[in-house]
Amino acid sequence: MKHIEALIADGGEITVGALWPHKCVATAADQSNALAMLVRRVDETLPALLQRLDQAIAKAYDGGGFTDEVNSARI
């Protein structure tokens, strides 16, 4: 999970926890921008969620845009 490690090393952060109405979300942000907000899927393991978060951070760093599953259509 090299992108999560790099984000944290650069002063960014990730969070994992409940965010109503979702039972579990994972978010990533640098010092000034949110990079990703993911909703944990049914039967998705925590390591799998973190891997998706790592991939979403990579997408944001590569100019692919912000991933927002929290505020988009319900999963």
**Res 37: pLDDT:** 98
Contact present, 27 and 18 (Cβ < 8 Å): no
Contact present, 24 and 39 (Cβ < 8 Å): yes
What is the pTM for the complete model shown?
0.92
Q: What's the structural domain count of the chain? A: 1
Looking at the domain assignment, is residue 52 inside a domain? yes
Rounded average pLDDT over 57-69: 95
Q: Please give the residue range of the domain that contains residue 27.
A: 2-68
Closest by alpha carbon to 75, among 29, 34, 21, 14? Answer: 21
Looking at the domain assignment, is residue 58 inside a domain? yes
Looking at the domain assignment, is residue 75 inside a domain? no
Q: Which residue has the higher pLDDT, 74 or 28?
A: 28
Looking at the domain assignment, is residue 33 inside a domain? yes
